Amino acid sequence: MSEELFAAFLKLDGRACLVVGAGRIAETKIESLARCGARVRVVAPQATEAVRAMAGASKIVWEQRPYEPSDLTGVFLVVAATSSRELHERIFAQARRQGILCNAVDEPERCDFYYPAVVRRGPLQIAVSTSGRAPLLAQAIRKELEKQYGPEYGPWTEELGRARSEMLASGVAPEERLARLQELCTRRPAGGTPSGDDAAAPGKIWFIGAGPGDPGLLTRKAWQLLQSADVVLHDALVSPEILHEVGPYVRLIDAGKRCGKHSATQQQIHEELIAHSHAGSKVVRLQGGDPLVFGRAGEEMAALRDAGIEFEVVPGVTSASAAAAAAQISLTDRKRASNLVFLSAHRCQGDFAADWASLARPDSTLAIYMPGGNYDRIARELLDVGLPPATPCVIVSQASTPRQLILRLDLCSLAETPEPPAPALLLVGEVTRAEAIEAAAAWGEGGESLEKEPVR
């Protein structure tokens, strides 16, 4: 016997539906049937105030008496919502004999159909069912969907319906009609359906932090925007797992800047953002980690201010936090590190200079972003200002993704370290010492590995 359910939405307007029982549980069943225009008859010796009020307002008919077999005559479907399993079994068996759909509340084995958890946005309805197995899970999913699909989807669905009807009435060819409707459906409502002059107004831009690469570390707001955007301009190092979270109708544009390779200039990125905004698009600028930490958000926000474009920043998990979490390191420690310094090994002109003498202190943790091929230079600079050769450090490559690599070593061996895949982050300081960390990580192509002895 197949347990696969056939998902369908029934038209109940004018159909006779019976509910046996009028307690708290029955209330929602009765109300949902009445909302759909069904002719609802309730049979029960007692009823809640809500059921009495619906009957008093002539929304339903309540017959104050016990159930009788003749109550099923002429009924399209029946809901059994009492405390008696024996009564439910009799109703279900009789309904089966008479070809009537039956739902016995909280008894999946006596149900021909289930009540799903429903998100209602006007004509748009999203139903969630667990085949009667886990109704609380269905309710939890419904709550998440209600946040994702707000009230604005109701009027937007109405607008799409009117557009479709107008095209059908005007005789637009099926292929052209399909193309137009697909284009309309790629636009998502932002606080309401744009129309008239509003549709031509400049769009808004959201700067979103993609985090280190694990989609589970995206903020809820970031995920919702990736689903509903018209255009997403993303950096080259945003993980494929994050890009997979982008909605199916969203246009993806690679705006990555790669060292030593042909790529978009910063000015071209500014122009692209402004052009899509003036086209009325909902634009997401997707950057790895947190866009406000060693990203180019500052330059891009300045360009948007000059152009009069509205924008908003949705921060993400910064790479230093992700790298430390991956390596199970606390970036600060009351005994070992009271200072935490973020610095970048990459500048727009390619020069890398830092006041190492003031930064490289025994009680500091250095989080060095974008070390690239500068490991030998970083090691020399730190050794020259007096850090001991045995100072521990950790390189974390592609943190939080399935390709994550962790290398634990010291300054003496850092200069000889081959460059791991980007994005990578270097942590230097006593908090990385191996006495509380499992030693050795390996990486390589074709099974080749590189191992370092743990720092003692």
Helix axes 174-185, 153-169, angle to 10 degrees: 170
The answer to whether the Cα torsion of 235, 240, 246, 251 is positive or negative is: positive
**Residue 207 to residue 287: CA distance in whole angstroms:** 7
- Beta partners for residue 126, in sequence order: 119
Start-to-end C-alpha separation, the chain: 64
In this structure, the dihedral spanned by the alpha carbons of residues 94, 96, 99 and 103, taken in order and rounded to 10 degrees, is 90
Interior CA angle at 228 toward 180 and 195, to 5°? 55
Torsion sign over Cα 206, 212, 213, 219: negative
Task: State CA 455 to chain mean position distance.
Answer: 40
DSSP element (H, E) containing 274: helix 266-278
**Phi, psi values for residue 339, rounded to 5°:** -125, 140
CA distances from 51 to 40, 41, 226, 403, 447 (A): 11, 11, 43, 58, 70
Q: How many CB atoms lie within 10 A of CB 268?
A: 12
List beta partners, residue 19: 42, 79
Say which residue the tokens 């982050």 belong to: 425
**Residue 357 · residue 385 · CB < 8 Å:** yes
Specify the 3-state DSSP secondary structure of 361.
coil
Got the DSSP string for 149-196?
S-TTHHHHHHHHHHHHHHHHHTT--HHHHHHHHHHHHTS--SSS---G
Is 223 within 8 Å of 229 (Cβ atoms)?
Answer: no
Active site residues: 235, 257
d(CA 376, CA 413) in angstroms, rounded, equals 9
